[in-house]
Amino acid sequence: MKSVEVNSERRRFLTTTASVVGGAGALATTIPFVSTLTPSAKAKAIGAPVEADIDDLEVGERKIVKWRGKPVWILRRDDAAIDELSELDDDVKDPASNTEQQPFYARNEYRSQRAEYLIVLGICTHLGCSPVYARKGEGEAHRLGADWKGGFFCPCHGSRFDLAGRVFKGVPAPSNLVVPPHQYLSDTRVLIGDDSAVVQS
């Protein structure tokens, strides 16, 4: 029987080459897979904070902006509407906003940083419908009774919220409208989706 001479250097070279080529192939296969896990520019834009100009918002008016595909309502309240909120404490489920649905700076009687402005997600906490803005003495108000002081009404299932987004007792919605994170950039601009500059006192 003839003995076969083993060239160890050649064997080492072939093993190293095969390892390098195999590793490069595995890396080339992994890169496209990993890139699918990173969010696209469109996805990042959807989740990004949104600036809203409130300079042109008249008293009693509501502005709607989109953040993360959801409607955010910005309502400018007058002094009378603000004063009437305390009169409804016995009629709403969570008058002091004890349920965690707002940042720390909105845990007050107005549910806002500035009493003049209410900023909430325009989504009913019952089944995700979008309530209508029912001003005192206008539109849907006739269906809500003579003592209706203004607020939001969900025609789908009858849930009602006051001008602080607090839910009334005896309706399907279990909790107040959600206050999104936000901060004021100036007297006329608000940033929805980022409250990193708000300091807890």
Catalytic residue check, 142 = no
Query: Nearest 10 degrees: CA dihedral of 76, 194, 121, 90?
Result: -70
- CA–CA separation, 58 vs 54, rounded Å? 9
Q: Residue 60: how many CB atoms within 10 A of its CB?
A: 17
Q: Would you say 76 and 58 are in contact if contact means Cβ atoms under 8 Å apart?
A: yes
Q: Would you say 154 and 131 are in contact if contact means Cβ atoms under 8 Å apart?
A: yes
- CA–CA separation, 4 vs 6, rounded Å? 6
- CA–CA separation, 100 vs 98, rounded Å? 6
Amino acid at 30: T
- CA–CA separation, 148 vs 95, rounded Å? 17
Distances (CA, A) of 132 to 12, 64, 105, 138, 194: 76, 12, 25, 12, 26
Report the DSSP beta bridge partners of residue 51: 191
Active site residues: 157
